[in-house]
Structure 1
Amino acid sequence: MPLLNINIKERMEHYQVTGLSVSVIRNHEISFVENYGLREADTLKKVNNDSIFSACSISKFVTAMLVMKLVQQGSLDLDEDVNVKLKSWKVPDNHFTVKRCVTLRNLLGHQSGITDPEKSFMELNSDGRYPTMVELLTGKTPYCDVPIEVKYEPETDFQYSDAGFCIIQLIIEDVLGKSFVEVIDELIFHPLKMTNSTYTLNLPEKFYEDFTSGHNNSGCLAENNYPIYPYPAASGLWTTSKDLSQLVLELMNALKNKSKLGISVEQANEMIQARGCKGWNGLGVFLEGSGIEIELSSLGWGEGFQSMLVAFPLKGDGIVIMTNTDLGVHQMKGIIGEIYQSFN
């Protein structure tokens, strides 16, 4: 069941996209998955349903779903001062935190007062050493070389922040006493049968055959074939378009009180309600429209990869588009945007 009004193969040639996977949700179920091109340029490795892409910042949507699960089971509280549960590091108090504290809610909505230092949060460098979240947050790594602190009063501005999701990851690890990777495997990937998804920093051998290599907008291999971001909750997800669709379906099902993860209708609704000082961001997602037409989206963009997830959760429709090419332009200005328009 191909998408209408677009010749994807022709548009891939036009934009020099090496590989692409599209998963479409209609009426609360996966309608079809289509795959095009190659996992790696100048090889015979074709993209298929099991092909794994770097999802980059779509990781934040998955992390938000994990937070909702942990809030539901009573391990976390969306509106509590994060310092109550943080053990291995604390958000430094300053004059910006006098009236409002940093909470999971404003961290998930990028309105916590936390900002990313300039030229921070890049892919793993050549020394191959994975920093801890405490090292990142205290400014002791090349990925973030200044300590993280609150830079404006929470909930008075929007500043997109990877550092904020590092704090979320640290809370989860401090509270549960396990690594973020273990927790998300146990509570999200395993129960939803997302068998081709991983946040691990060491790419597992069982996935080697399915991983796609990153490419630039000339069709050449990226400098790092498989870019690793050593702050998983913010950008570390490797997955397939079909697996991501399973998670979108879980949110849709939770809104109908049919969650496989035990997420309540109330918690699911929290994610798609605009909060704080902006009307276009929920918890871990961006929003547009209202009522039955509410649309949520999450974008991923990093070295060699671009992707987009869009869903109309109350209508039961959605689309996940993943490429192993960095087009160098916003998703809506390239092939991803053209596919989205065809779907919409």
Structure 2
Amino acid sequence: MKRLPLWIAILFFCGQLFGQNNYSPETLEKIKAVENNLTGNIIVNDAKPGTIAGQMAKYKVNGMSIAVIHDFKIEWAKGYGWADVEEKKPMTTATLFEPGSISKTLNAIGILKLAQEKKVDLYTDINTYLTSWKFPYDSLSKGKTINLAQLLAHQAGLTVHGFPGHDINGPVPTVFEVLDGKKPSFTPAVRSAFEPDLKFQYSGGGTTISQVLLTDVTGQAYDVWMYENVLKPIGMVNSTYAQPPAKDQWHLCASAYNSDGTPIERKFHVYPEQAAAGLWMTPTDLCHYILDMQLAYQGKPSKVLSPDMVDLHLKPYRNGPTAMGTFIEDHDGAIYFGHGAGNDGFCGQFFGSLEDGNGIAIFLNSDNGRLLGEVINSVAKVYNWKNFYREPRRVKSMAVPDETLKSYEGIYLFDNTWAAIGKKDNDFHFFTNGTHAKMYFSSPVQFVNEEFQAVKTMIKDEKGNVTGYTRMVNDKEYPPAKKIANLDTLQLENHILGEIGWYYFGNKQYKESLAAFRRGTELYPEDLNTLINLAHLHLFNNDYASAIAIYKAHLNDEVKPGYSWVQLLKDDYMYFKNSQNEVKMFDKVFKELKIEKP
């Protein structure tokens, strides 16, 4: 029998020790079944299911906490691993997490409560209620006003998907600086991208507007009002929107870790965007909210919302993917509400069934969320969630010659996004959505990945040249991905070209990275971020003359209000340095520009 390394065994011991122990033998058996039957989207060469301890080690997850709902009650809760590795602070069911966007779900409860009390109308222009800040409408909204219903359902047509955290020692922007994209905010201004109710577009920026509106209407600090009117009544008595939490709670807070297991500096980050990302909570606390909604859907009184407001929270808005504050999933007629989350060094997910009283809340103190789906799927199988469990595909994997794999290298476009097949650290991989995924070939032209559900089959023309790949998910065929022959002729959105450029940069393919940023500047010549990236890549390609010409040409420019070209250059230099890239060539740049090197 293969033995686990000592530190993994300690992680598993902590999970055993710090879970609740007063469970029935039947529940303990179910816990054991959940812990020992983890699989991803595929099972390769009849591999045995993984364990929680083993998968935590595989994904470099230091700590996990979980609470499971069955038959409309919390059946068990348990902590695994470390809340803080250095301090040897174990994970317990009382450990607080800052997982991110689940904050939006409870924020929606607060806004719906204001509507229930007739203090706001969900379908009235938000500027009717905003007093400390006003939304600046422009031509992109096409004369249409934005309302709270649209903000909660992500149908307001607004920018700014999410927010990076800030060092607890500052500087930390005010919420108004965040909304207007002013330094020290890291994100651009929250503004219209298109008219409201045109389509779904996730916007943490829109949620942040609702935060300001709530404080304007109530006259109270956001975290105080939310605790007294939402969290405490619904049973989330250990949770808080305070940013940062009060110091007497810090001993309860999990420390945050990057996807490689290394710690976030100073334990965790601060989010002035409290409604969008700032809720500290435990899985057990969150389950009290899930249960309140599940029971209210069954006709019992909610502790916070009236039946009509519960319906708005649990039924899709305009047939979109969300209700007001939740994502709604239809699993062949079985309806589940839920929300995912991810902050710097944290991630999480919750689900609740509408009909049969099942649910889960699970948090990790890691950026790597792959374990979430595996544990949730295991719980769904053990507790027989209706139409939820996904049986993994069984794959017999074979070796494919490097020469064949090399012919697959390149960029592929599909569904307004992109993917790549390439080589990094001497291994070929499939890359999309920020994830490098190992390829498992069932034939020389067909492969799958653990991380993604699609079965991909390479397409070749009559000359044998690779032109793309087909995509099949659960026997349903999707439009094929097309291989890019030449970046120089493509009309791509700037952010896609930027992502491609940074992908090549991460692989140290500096020539290809330069081509992507060059195409970006051709299509979007006014974008200063793309211009400075082009300059950087000239530098990494040993073309100092081209790089310094760009640096000099924009030396006095502002990238955005309050954020200068010089500051961007300094910030990028620190990024390259902290990411272990060669930065000695920047010495000459700072000297010639007469700028102090950070």
Alignment of 1:80-91 (within 5 A): 80-91=124-135
Aligned partner of residue 289 in structure 1, secondary structure: strand
For 1:8 and 1:215, locate their aligned partners in 2 and report how far apart those are by CA, in whole Å.
18
Deviation (angstroms), 1:74: 1.5
**Partner of 1:258 in structure 2?**
300
Deviation (angstroms), 1:38: 0.7
Task: Give 1 or 2 for the bigger CA radius of gyration.
Answer: 2
**Partner of 2:291 in structure 1?**
249
Whether the 8 Å CA contact 1:306–1:324 is kept in 2: the answer is yes
Aligned partner of residue 233 in structure 2, secondary structure: coil
Aligned partner of residue 128 in structure 1, secondary structure: coil
Asked if 1:202 corresponds to 2:202, the answer is no
Q: Structure 1-normalised TM-score?
A: 0.91
Alignment of 1:121-160 (within 5 A): 121-125=163-167, 128-143=170-185, 146-160=188-202
Asked if 1:340 corresponds to 2:381, the answer is no
Whether the 8 Å CA contact 1:54–1:236 is kept in 2: the answer is yes
Asked if 1:319 corresponds to 2:360, the answer is yes
CA spacing shift, 1:226–1:127, aligned 2, 3 Å:
closer
**Partner of 2:98 in structure 1?**
54
Deviation (angstroms), 1:10: 2.0
**Partner of 1:284 in structure 2?**
325
Code of the aligned partner of 2:81: G
For 1:291 and 1:256, locate their aligned partners in 2 and report how far apart those are by CA, in whole Å.
20
Asked if 1:226 corresponds to 2:268, the answer is yes
Deviation (angstroms), 1:207: 1.3
Q: Structure 2-normalised TM-score?
A: 0.54
Code of the aligned partner of 2:54: E
Match of 1:72 among 87, 96, 116: 116
Whether the 8 Å CA contact 2:63–2:365 is kept in 1: the answer is yes
| Identical counterparts, % of pairs | 30
**Partner of 1:307 in structure 2?**
348
How many residues in Structure 1 have an aligned counterpart in Structure 2? 336
Identify the structure with bigger relative contact order (alpha carbons < 8 Å, sequence gap 6+): 1
Match of 1:185 among 212, 215, 227: 227
Name whichever structure is richer in helix by fraction: 2
Deviation (angstroms), 1:321: 0.8
Whether the 8 Å CA contact 1:41–1:220 is kept in 2: the answer is no
For 2:333 and 2:230, locate their aligned partners in 1 and report how far apart those are by CA, in whole Å.
26
Whether the 8 Å CA contact 1:64–1:108 is kept in 2: the answer is yes
Whether the 8 Å CA contact 2:108–2:152 is kept in 1: the answer is yes
Deviation (angstroms), 1:144: 5.1
CA spacing shift, 1:272–1:100, aligned 2, 3 Å:
farther
Gaps of 5+ in 2: 1-26, 39-50, 381-598
For 2:243 and 2:125, locate their aligned partners in 1 and report how far apart those are by CA, in whole Å.
29
Aligned partner of residue 316 in structure 1, secondary structure: coil
Whether the 8 Å CA contact 2:168–2:269 is kept in 1: the answer is no
Whether the 8 Å CA contact 1:72–1:262 is kept in 2: the answer is no
Name whichever structure is richer in strand by fraction: 2
For 1:291 and 1:79, locate their aligned partners in 2 and report how far apart those are by CA, in whole Å.
32
Whether the 8 Å CA contact 1:187–1:261 is kept in 2: the answer is no
Aligned partner of residue 310 in structure 1, secondary structure: strand
**Partner of 2:277 in structure 1?**
235
Match of 1:111 among 143, 150, 155: 155
For 1:85 and 1:199, locate their aligned partners in 2 and report how far apart those are by CA, in whole Å.
22
| Superposition CA RMSD, Å | 2.1
